[in-house]
Chain A
Amino acid sequence: MMNPTFLGLDYPTLWFLVLGGLFSGYAILDGFDLGAGAWHLFFRKEQSRRVALNAIGPVWDGNEVWLVIGGGALFAGFPEVYATLLSAMYIPFMLFLMMLIMRAVSIEFRSKEPMLWWRKMWDISYSVSSIMLSVLLGIVLGNVIQGIPMGADHEFTGNWISFLNPYAILVGITTLSIFMVHGALYLTMKTEGRLFAKLTILLKRAIIFFVVMIVSLTMVSLVFVPQMSDRIFSQPWLGILPLLMGAAIFFIPRFVRVRRYRPAFLLSSGVIMLLLIVVAVELYPVLLPSSSSAAHSLDIYSASSSTKSLEIMLIIAAIGAPLVLSYTIFIYKTFWGKVKLDDSSY
């Protein structure tokens, strides 16, 4: 039986693209509010902290929805991968969930009481959870890139601590660094006065931090994780991806120098997306490589839901995506511009 296709792509590939789109969307959107949170303790003044918090106030919740949808899409489209990955990465995912809760609570409760110790406590928990979440996301990605030990039944065979390996930690810190650039750029667009001036200084340091991390990660990957570059080397036209990424990274500081933060923010979004595209291109059609034996890897065909199920979900996505996009744009437009604290602020 022929597998049905749409636009020349089979359904598992389409769903792979949907998933890639959702995870990129999540990384770009939650990336800037996690990044903004990572900077929080660098702002010393109460007013600055409130402005920074309210810069993400109306949108952070909506941004997290992308994670919820992405998780649902993974469960729906590739239940084997969802089940194997989440049970294999039990501890990091549990920590992730806990940090997610702590962060939501911190944002919600911080400005509800005037006491200094109260606000300080929530500021710390907000910032620490934002940093931890960024690093944990990177750690999970790092483990996926390297592959995890699993048998023919796709059950994880490692132990509870095997997620914490040097390469995964490197990816984790790199993720934090790009989110910090991204978040700082977002905040410069949303603030003015002294906080803005402070951010311009922090932004420069963030860019240096990021460049150091991305260069190290690239070199380590080339040497120790060759499967993350073999497709680009064998098909030279794919070289456009790293070239584009290099160009984007090159132009961010240039736009920053001339105080054009919006194009710089678009470029940092582009860098995040390109990083994930490179990962997707190198993995495809595998979704979760097995580090014990390549034959045990979960690819989009062995792990996918039935054609019927994918077809239903593609219809749902096709109806839903324009809806979600249109009101997301409406909401961002409503809160466009610099932050003004008012009676409904955090």
Chain B
Amino acid sequence: MNLAILRVHNGFFVMDVEILSRIQFAFTISFHYIYPPLSIGLGLVMVFMEGLYLKTRNPQYEQLARFWTRIFALTFGIGVATGIVMEFEFGTNWATYSRYVGDVFGSALAAEGVFAFALESGFLGILLFGWNRVKPPVHFFATVMVLLGSMFSAVWIVVANSWQQTPAGFHIVGEGMQARAEIIDFWAMVFNPSSVDRLTHVWIAAFLAGAFMVLSVHAWYLLKGRFVEVSKKAIKIALSIALVASLSQLLTGHHSAAGVAENQPAKLAAFEGHFEASAPADLYLFGWVNKETEEVTGLKIPGGTSMLVHGDFEEPVAGLRSFAEEDRPSALNAIFQFYHLMIAIGMALIGISVLACFFWWRGTLFEQRWLLMLLVPSVLLPQIGNQVGWFAAEMGRQPWVVYGLLRTSDALSKAVTANQVLFSLIMFTFVYVILLGLFLYLLNKKIQHGPEDDESIAHRPQQEAMMDNVQP
């Protein structure tokens, strides 16, 4: 693959349209993916908070639910705006890909729009603006619907992406550049070999993103001695989710890796830096891949990957050398590092959750200041884990955009020039930097402000009367 960004053409340096389109897609999807996991994860926490409010009628839970709804609104809004970009980018930058997959990918996308996105955006209005307009159980229902909607939307997107990793339920019509995939079995497409493992992996990763955000914010409040009672309640809710989620992530992660070994052997070989065509594969805890010498330096469990995949330390696993040079992923060290970083983060999340639950069980959780201090920055861990996990998954699939069928370099829009992409890339960078700045600024402001504010329930009628009398 040609990774040179600059090429000499007519005496000028020009950018390569393929690499620019790839950078733009990677940039816009990575930026987008900060938000949906937070929406799903916070949605789950909010359902618990509001559910507990309905059950106990303790207004502290309502206060929490309202507080996190305000933060949810922020993440959701940016998630939607940056998500629409993705839907159109397939057509604008990857027209050949769109023609190729449209018949298969289309029904998943249609289902996403109808079943998921419409549901969440519709009920969002009630979730955000309906506190004083509908009864608490109706509002709770809306919260559940928004969570379900966001989880459904993950279903269809992950199904589509999994189909690109492990295509199933289709046949190829036409030849050469005219070839395209046509669906023959909807359910085989939906339940392609990797969908279920990857979907559960994505969902749980999203729950972790939400839970650790709540843990981080409320741990910070406790350290500052603010909103102590509500924060303890919030931490208990989020910690329960974090414990269950981080442990189950181990399971889905293992299943996913086993699936990759079976369906995308070149990708697994890249994950583990396994070069020998047929030899037992080691499992690295960390290491460095030298692509030129085809060697990995690091700490390893000999035969560990063979053990995980086949249950036997001696069993050979297909290595990178058993694939033609042009069919291997190219950014080997990056893939290796991203994959191992994801696993390390997963383990760290288990460690933190188990430790915190241990102190909770001992009844001394809120006295462990060091642990609370650890929880505050830990909000970044699931975010980084989500990003690098996807980097590994998508870069490991290269050079294919549809595994084994369509190459990324063949998938571009032929009508689009490098200058156009450069223009849009600069524009996206500009807008997204502003967007991220605003997000962090407003997030910080809401957190500083905290769950207790002038919107508290007791003052509601008074507050409303005041708002109605605001003088222009």
Contacts and interface: CB of A to CB of B under 8 A. Distances in A.
A112 B442 contact: yes
B123 A331 contact: yes
A76 B87 CA distance: 12
Give the interface centre of A45, A65, A160, A343 by most chain B CB atoms within 10 Å.
A343
Contacts of B445: 112
B81 A105 contact: yes
A321 B114 CA distance: 7
A341 interface: yes
Chain B interface mostly: helix
Interface in B96-134: 96, 98-99, 101-107, 109-115, 117-119, 121-126, 128-134
B427 interface: yes
A316 B110 contact: yes
Interface in A324-345: 324, 327-328, 331, 334-335, 340-345
A328 B118 CA distance: 9
A139 to B, nearest CB: 15
B92 A341 contact: no
A101 B442 contact: no
A108 B107 CA distance: 32
5 contacts: A62-B124, A68-B113, A98-B427, A309-B182, A334-B125
Given A61-B121, A101-B435, A344 B92 contact: no
Contact of A344 (B111, B118, B128, B180): B128
B468 A320 contact: no
Shortest Cβ-Cβ A-B pairs, 9 listed: A79-B102, A76-B106, A86-B91, A320-B114, A47-B472, A87-B413, A69-B113, A58-B125, A83-B95
Contacts of B427: 94, 98
Give the interface centre of B83, B87, B134, B442 by most chain A CB atoms within 10 Å.
B87
Contact of B113 (A73, A82, A100, A319): A73
Contact of A62 (B121, B423, B428, B454): B121
Contacts of B367: none
Given A101-B85, A160-B420, A316-B107, A334 B130 contact: yes
A82 B107 contact: no
B472 A45 contact: yes
Given A309-B107, A341-B467, A344-B128, 12 more contacts: A61-B77, A80-B99, A83-B95, A86-B88, A86-B413, A90-B413, A97-B88, A101-B82, A305-B106, A331-B123, A335-B125, A342-B467
A313 B118 contact: no
B290 interface: no
Contact of A313 (B77, B98, B107, B420): B107
B415 A75 contact: no
A324 B117 CA distance: 10
A87 B91 contact: yes
Contacts of B414: 87, 155
B102 A305 contact: yes
Chain A interface mostly: helix
B209 to A, nearest CB: 20
A331 B126 contact: yes
Contact of B92 (A79, A93, A104, A155): A93
Interface residues of A, number: 74
Given A73-B110, A105-B435, A312-B183, A62 B95 contact: no
B324 to A, nearest CB: 29
B464 A83 contact: no
A63 B387 CA distance: 30
A316 B470 CA distance: 48
Given A62-B121, A316-B114, A79 B80 contact: no
Interface of B: 73-74, 77-78, 80-85, 87-88, 90-93, 95-96, 98-99, 101-107, 109-115, 117-119, 121-126, 128-134, 173, 180, 182-184, 186, 413-417, 419-420, 423-424, 427-428, 431, 434-435, 438, 442, 445, 454-455, 460, 463-464, 467-468, 470-472
A312 B186 contact: yes
B413 A79 contact: no
Nearest to A109: B438
A72 B113 contact: yes
B123 A340 contact: no
A76 to B, nearest CB: 3
Given A79-B99, A317-B110, A68 B87 contact: yes
A102 interface: yes
A313 to B, nearest CB: 5
B104 A61 contact: no
B129 A344 contact: yes
A47 B424 contact: no
Contact of B125 (A59, A75, A76, A79): A59
B472 A58 contact: no
B468 A340 contact: yes
Nearest to B178: A153
A306 interface: yes
Contacts of B91: 75, 82-83, 85-87, 93
Contact of B442 (A80, A96, A109): A109
B416 A90 contact: yes
A80 B173 CA distance: 14
A334 B128 contact: no
A230 interface: no
B442 A331 contact: no
Given A85-B91, A86-B88, A342-B467, A305 B114 contact: no
